[in-house]
Amino acid sequence: MNEKCFQDKCVLITGASSGIGRATALAFGAEGARVIIHYNNKEAQAAEVLSRVVSSGGSGELLQGDLSTMSGTRKLCDIVATLPVDILVNNAGSLIRRTPVLEFTENLWEQVMVLNLTSAFFLAQAVLPGMVSRQSGAVINVSSVAARNGGGIGALAYATAKAGLSTMTKGLAKEFAPKGIQVNAVSPGTVDTEYHQTFSTTAMLDSVRSATPMGRLGTSPEIAGVILFLASPAARFMQGQVVEVNGGFLMA
């Protein structure tokens, strides 16, 4: 990528207060972007990300919203639709809590689906008209290796939602590639973030390491680097791709 190739581009990143979202915000900021840092309840962490974005030469703002509910999603979409978003990174997601299939409730299933899939669709719907009018833009969805292997025990709804997100990526690309918009996804393997500190045991993570040819977990900056590539002119002929980034844990 050329130096500062995202200079003054408006980038919206959901779930940007920590983990992959945080690393992606910092990476875009270092490339001169205006980064809209979405968060739900980690305001102090989001503010720290914004401070680092600005100090690295970028600009930005904070945007709060609860994407695990339809009311929160609608409210955020109304705001986002007024912004000149050039790049949307649908990163927000969580399995909420590990839950065996027979213990799932309708409410929990809906919450997982809205957070990981439905909100991503409607945020894309909110920004795409502006991209179409400019005949340029990029949507990058953050899927998961769980979409390919069904996820661990207790993560079925999350894995199902992420599989839907991967499929949605392909459908959006078919419709909007002719209008000059790049739509792709990155599918991380197990990344060393707060997410896995919360939802995965030491034994689970050790098992992943042993099954990964590189012998370690991924890092958030490694995933962020792929996201920046997918948003860049270097990936202009890539459409509808779900790029697996997992150290060889799963090979297509």
The answer to whether the beta carbons of residues 157 and 108 sit under 8 Å apart is: yes
> What sign for the dihedral angle of Cα 225, 201, 43, 128?
positive
Question: What tens digit of pLDDT does each residue of 76-119 get?
Answer: 999 999 999 999 999 999 999 999 999 999 999 999 999 999 99
Residue 233 covered by a domain: yes
In a domain, 114, yes or no: yes
Of the listed 158, 168, 181, 212, which one is catalytic? 158
> Structure tokens of 92?
């927000």
- CA-nearest of 221, 225, 143, 224 to 183 is 143
- Taking the model in full, what pTM does it have? 0.94
pLDDT of residue 157: 97
End-to-end CA distance of the chain: 26
Q: How confident is the model at residue 2 (pLDDT cuts 50, 70, 90)?
A: very low
pLDDT given at position 206: 85
Q: Considering the domain boundaries, does residue 237 fall inside one?
A: yes
pLDDT at residue 3, rounded to an integer: 65
CA distance 163 to 143: 7
Residue 2, in any domain of the structure: no
137 lies in which domain range? 10-244
Q: Flag whether 252 is in a domain.
A: no
4 inside domain: no
The answer to the question of residue 249 being in a domain is: no
The residue with tokens 């034994």 is 203
Whether 155 is covered by a domain: the verdict is yes
Indicate which CATH number applies to the domain containing 181: 3.40.50.720
158 is catalytic: yes
H-state helical runs in 35-144: 43-55, 70-80, 106-113, 119-134
Q: How many domains does the chain have?
A: 1
